[in-house]
């Protein structure tokens, strides 16, 4: 039995009586390689079920938060698992200094290996967790802990600077709100409604938001000062190390996850391309928002997807762990490699691959001087540019209530946003047959601005027969990041420039009688910070400038949407 540190003994003394119960819960300290100790709650199964496989979860949100961890830990504990939930470095009761993301790989590695050495553990360890707790799993897996046997990764972050905290140069102002939640050792999930967040998130420069938040540690400073894919973020990416991660993983995410959808697909796709464990990866994607990827509902933003949409994730995860940690021949390894909820048709689809597209179809943007349209025909002659005026003091809204936690059910209906004069739209003809879009859409945008920087925010929507425009996917790009995430360069005002905008992955069925639409503008506030239409580090800019932006559609500058589609579905309009 390993020698206990003073901190471990201190934690265990007040709850020694609990150890006599059938399924005890202990609090202990776990030593890291540099001497820092992380505080952990340990849920042990009955004595006759030990040594048992263990499930580890690493969190910045306070290991004792009942709503997040207690129910899940008890579920596994009652089924013969040891469960360890620990505060990451500098959070909750853990020692050390909080600096988001930086220490999670080595620390979680050390937790996994410490757990494997305990006499109550069978030496087989799995990991689980949503969002940040998904990221910590991948950070640890890249460190190759010998006793990590499997993972359940739910909407995991990790595609730094293409996903968060900047999305292709566009700062996710959501992180001002997030850093407020974690500004002290214990997350502050309540009391958001007492603050005027619209005013707070409009403060300039962005450093003024930090003055209000007054956070502990370096997280906010890191986000504002490291605004490119520099050494700080490159050290946290491991695109070239997936071939060293030989771990079965169940990947779970949701089509309506505004936070980490692209990160989840990033991990899955790289594991399928490079990992020795590619045959032991499974993907589940449902019609869920971020938090509801762990606790699925059958509804989102007023849309009802039917009872089958609400999977019992406790049972789904248990099936995975029972196979890889307990060796049960329950058929989990033979489950469909990919399970997608087909939004549009609203049914589950089981398949052997992602994406399902096998061809790319182009829809060109056209403008006749009054209306914008989409068609498979490229411009045969010069058409007028479609122009709009973007004022940072009046940004297009995300339509979210930032005073609520969690930030779920952000509306899909874009009618109100598309009615604004600073949003331009391109709509297809009515579809006569269904079109299955499956993969990562892209748009090649030929555009110009009279400023030296601006942003492009693009949404793909499904226009229902009753006229509602419902979001399917979206993407954005800060213009100065068009050529490089490492070295932004200003625009030449007035020069028509090509911008490649990546839209988020989707699997969506456009039904007959519906239409496709692309909307383009230069803001999506407050999810994203406002572009001030000025080149330079966003954190330092203070003076908004109005931009006149235009999209071009000529034979030489053919703006177009590139859709990954299934060839057995109809050709596009």
Q: Is the pLDDT of residue 19 over 90?
A: no
What's the average model confidence in pLDDT over 412-435? 98
Check residue 6 and give its pLDDT.
43
Q: Name the band, by pLDDT with cuts 50, 70 and 90, for residue 1.
A: very low
On whether the 6-169+228-351 domain is CATH 3.40.50.450, my answer is no
Q: Which of 4-18, 291-305, 327-341, 429-443 has the lowest mean pLDDT?
A: 4-18
Q: Name the band, by pLDDT with cuts 50, 70 and 90, for residue 12.
A: very low
Pairing of strands 547-551, 442-449: antiparallel
Tokens of 560: 């177009």
Which of helix, strand or coil describes residue 82? strand
Question: Which residues, including other chains, have CB under 8 Å from residue 196's CB and lie 6 or more apart?
Answer: none
Residue range 427-454, pLDDT digits in tens:
999 999 999 999 999 999 999 999 999 9
Q: Which of 12-26, 62-76, 87-101, 143-157 has the lowest mean pLDDT?
A: 12-26
Sole residue written with tokens 């490159």: 234
Longest CA–CA separation in the chain, Å: 82
Question: Which residues, including other chains, have CB under 8 Å from residue 292's CB and lie 6 or more apart?
Answer: 254, 300, 408
Please name which of 246, 180, 239, 252 lies closest in space to residue 209, comparing C-alpha atoms.
Answer: 180
Residue range 197-220, pLDDT digits in tens:
888 899 999 999 999 889 989 999
> Can you spell out the DSSP letters for 303-340?
EE--GGGS--HHHHHHHHHHHHHH---SSGGGS-SEEE
For residue 544, what is the DSSP state? -
Check residue 5 and give its pLDDT.
52
What's the average model confidence in pLDDT over 358-386? 97
Residues 515 and 532: their CA atoms lie apart, in Å, by 33
The residues with which 282 forms a beta bridge, in sequence order, are 250
Check residue 14 and give its pLDDT.
39
Check residue 18 and give its pLDDT.
47
Residues 119 and 52: their CA atoms lie apart, in Å, by 9
Within its chain, how far is the Cα of 404 from the centroid?
Answer: 19
Percent composition of the chain: helix, strand, coil (DSSP 3-state, to 5): 25, 30, 45
Q: Based on DSSP, count helices (H) and strands (E) in the chain, helices before strands.
A: 12, 27
Tokens of 207: 């450093």
Q: Is the pLDDT of residue 272 over 80?
A: yes
Question: Which residues, including other chains, have CB under 8 Å from residue 382's CB and lie 6 or more apart?
Answer: 554, 555
Segment 538-542 long-range contacts (CB within 8 Å, at least 24 positions apart): 538/171, 538/206, 538/224, 538/227, 539/205, 539/206, 539/207, 539/224, 539/225, 539/227, 540/205, 540/207, 541/204, 541/205, 542/204, 542/205
Tokens of 84: 């360890």
Check residue 35 and give its pLDDT.
97
Please name which of 518, 519, 516, 497 lies closest in space to residue 508, comparing C-alpha atoms.
Answer: 516
Give the CATH number of domain 359-565; options: 2.60.120.260, 1.10.10.10, 3.30.470.10, 3.40.50.1100. 2.60.120.260
Residues 405 and 521: their CA atoms lie apart, in Å, by 27
Q: Is the pLDDT of residue 43 over 90?
A: yes
- Cβ-based neighbour number of residue 16 at 10 Å: 10
Residue range 70-126, pLDDT digits in tens:
999 999 999 999 999 999 999 999 999 999 999 999 999 999 999 999 999 999 999
Residues 342 and 346: their CA atoms lie apart, in Å, by 5
Q: What is the pTM of this model?
A: 0.94
Sole residue written with tokens 């698992």: 81
Distances (CA, A) of 384 to 164, 446, 517: 36, 13, 19
Annotated domain spans of the chain: 6-169+228-351, 359-565
Tokens of 103: 């220490």
Strands of 352-427 (E only): list them: 359-367, 372-375, 386-390, 424-427
Residues 516 and 76: their CA atoms lie apart, in Å, by 45
Helix (H) / strand (E) element for 105: namely helix 104-117
Helix (H) / strand (E) element for 42: namely strand 37-43
Determine contact, residues 33/96, Cβ cutoff 8 Å.
Answer: no
Please name which of 290, 355, 288 lies closest in space to residue 156, comparing C-alpha atoms.
Answer: 290
Please name which of 68, 41, 60 lies closest in space to residue 157, comparing C-alpha atoms.
Answer: 60
Query: Helix/strand/coil (H, E, C) string of 214-258?
Result: CCCCCHHHHHHHCCCCCHHHHCCCCCCCHHHCCCCEEEEEECCCC
Determine contact, residues 219/185, Cβ cutoff 8 Å.
Answer: no
Determine contact, residues 300/409, Cβ cutoff 8 Å.
Answer: yes
């Amino acid at each position: 039995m390993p020698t206990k540190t003073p901190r471990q003994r201190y934690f265990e003394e007040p709850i020694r009586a609990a150890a006599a119960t059938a399924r005890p819960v202990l609090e202990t300290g776990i030593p890291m390689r540099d001497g820092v100790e992380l505080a952990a709650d340990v849920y042990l199964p009955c004595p006759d079920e030990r040594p048992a496989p263990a499930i580890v979860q690493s969190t910045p949100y306070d290991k004792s938060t009942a709503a997040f961890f207690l129910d899940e830990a008890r579920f596994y504990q009652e089924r013969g698992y040891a469960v360890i939930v620990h505060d990451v470095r500098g959070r909750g009761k853990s020692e050390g200094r909080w600096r988001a993301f930086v220490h999670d790989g080595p620390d979680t590695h050390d937790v996994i290996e410490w757990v494997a050495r305990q006499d109550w553990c069978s030496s087989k360890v799995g990991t689980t967790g949503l969002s940040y707790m998904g990221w910590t799993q991948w950070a640890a897996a890249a460190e190759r802990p010998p006793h990590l046997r499997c993972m359940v990764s739910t909407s995991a972050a990790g595609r730094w600077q293409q996903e968060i905290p900047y999305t292709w140069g566009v700062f996710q102002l959501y992180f001002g709100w997030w850093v407020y939640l974690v500004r002290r050792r214990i997350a502050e999930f309540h009391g958001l409604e007492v603050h005027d967040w619209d005013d707070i998130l409009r403060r300039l420069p962005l450093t003024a938001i930090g003055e209000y938040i007054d956070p502990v540690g370096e997280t906010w400073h890191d986000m504002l000062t490291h605004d490119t894919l520099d050494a700080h973020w490159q050290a946290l990416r491991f695109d070239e190390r997936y071939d060293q991660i030989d771990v079965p993983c169940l990947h779970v995410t949701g089509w309506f996850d505004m936070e980490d959808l692209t990160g989840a697909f990033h991990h899955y796709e790289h594991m399928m391309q490079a990992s020795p464990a590619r045959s032991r990866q499974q993907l589940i994607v449902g019609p869920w928002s971020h938090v509801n990827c762990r606790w699925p509902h059958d509804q989102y933003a007023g849309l009802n997807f039917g009872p089958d949409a609400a999977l019992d994730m406790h049972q789904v995860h248990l099936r995975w762990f029972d196979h890889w940690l307990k060796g049960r021949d329950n058929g989990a390894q033979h489950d469909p490699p990919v399970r997608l909820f087909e939004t549009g048709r609203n049914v589950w689809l089981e398949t052997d691959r992602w994406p399902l597209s096998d061809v790319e179809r182009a829809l060109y943007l056209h403008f006749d001087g009054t209306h914008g349209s989409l068609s498979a025909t490229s411009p045969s002659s010069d058409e007028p540019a479609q122009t709009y005026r973007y004022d940072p003091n009046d940004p297009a809204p995300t339509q979210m209530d930032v005073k609520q936690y969690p930030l779920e059910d952000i509306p899909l209906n874009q009618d109100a946003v598309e009615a604004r004069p600073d949003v331009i739209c391109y709509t297809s003809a009515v579809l006569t047959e269904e079109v299955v879009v499956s993969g990562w859409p892209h748009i090649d945008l030929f555009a110009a601005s009279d400023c030296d920087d601006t942003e492009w925010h693009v949404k793909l929507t499904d226009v229902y027969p009753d006229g509602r425009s419902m979001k399917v996917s979206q993407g954005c790009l800060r213009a100065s990041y068009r050529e490089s995430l490492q070295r932004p360069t200003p625009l030449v005002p007035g020069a028509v420039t090509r911008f490649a905008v990546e839209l988020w992955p989707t699997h969506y069925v456009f039904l007959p009688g519906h239409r496709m639409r692309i909307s383009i503008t230069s803001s999506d506030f407050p999810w994203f910070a406002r572009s001030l239409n000025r080149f330079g580090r966003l954190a330092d800019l203070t003076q908004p400038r109005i931009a006149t932006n235009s999209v071009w559609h000529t034979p030489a500058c053919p703006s177009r949407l590139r859709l990954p589609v299934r060839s057995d579905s109809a050709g596009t309009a």
